[in-house]
Copies of this chain bind each other. A is one copy, B any other.
């Protein structure tokens, strides 16, 4: 193995494989010590090797009793639907209620979310809830729809 990042990556994957639950919890400092590197190296490994696209979810907590938790998830098989929707969201200069609705309907049709969930999100992204200037509304919708896509990448079988 050439570099320490690869070594740490392999180590974490090994531990993950051996764990019953598809998750491990580590202390950043401990791992750094074990491999004699700076703590931020662990972040580098996580940011480059344990991404959502690769099927990993990472959560963490700072402060006393802090930890980093890495979870293995199964990616949704319809990644292409998500990326095409993401493109649409990115390209549209203005995101109005109609566009939000279209995106949500598409997701329901593709069976990536339930009708009820779409309903909820539609209301959260409505003009009424987002009582802002047009541009701000558009910005929030873009951000939130993209956040939604990110979650849908691994939901349903993760």
Docked CA distance A148–B121 (Å) = 8
Q: Does A92 contact B (CB under 8 A)?
A: no
Select which of B65, B67, B148 is within 8 A of A123 by beta carbon.
B148
Number of copies: 2
Task: Point out the residues of chain B lying under 8 angstroms from A66, CB to CB.
Answer: 2
- A121/B124 contact (C-beta < 8 A), A67-B2, A129-B143, A144-B129 known: yes
How many residues of chain A are within 8 Å of chain B by beta carbon? Answer: 30
Docked CA distance A13–B95 (Å) = 37
Q: Closest Cβ of chain B: how far from A31's Cβ, in Å?
A: 16
- A140/B130 contact (C-beta < 8 A), A2-B67, A120-B117 known: yes
Docked CA distance A144–B126 (Å) = 9
Residue positions of A touching B, CB distance < 8 A? 2-3, 5-6, 64-67, 113, 116-117, 119-121, 123-124, 126, 128-131, 140, 143-144, 146-148, 150-151, 155
**Pairs A-B, 8 closest by C-beta atoms:** A3-B65, A2-B65, A129-B147, A124-B144, A129-B143, A123-B151, A123-B147, A3-B64
Apart from the given pairs A117-B120, A131-B143, 10 other A-B contacts in the complex at a CB distance below 8 Å: A2-B66, A3-B64, A113-B120, A119-B151, A120-B121, A121-B121, A123-B148, A123-B150, A129-B147, A130-B144
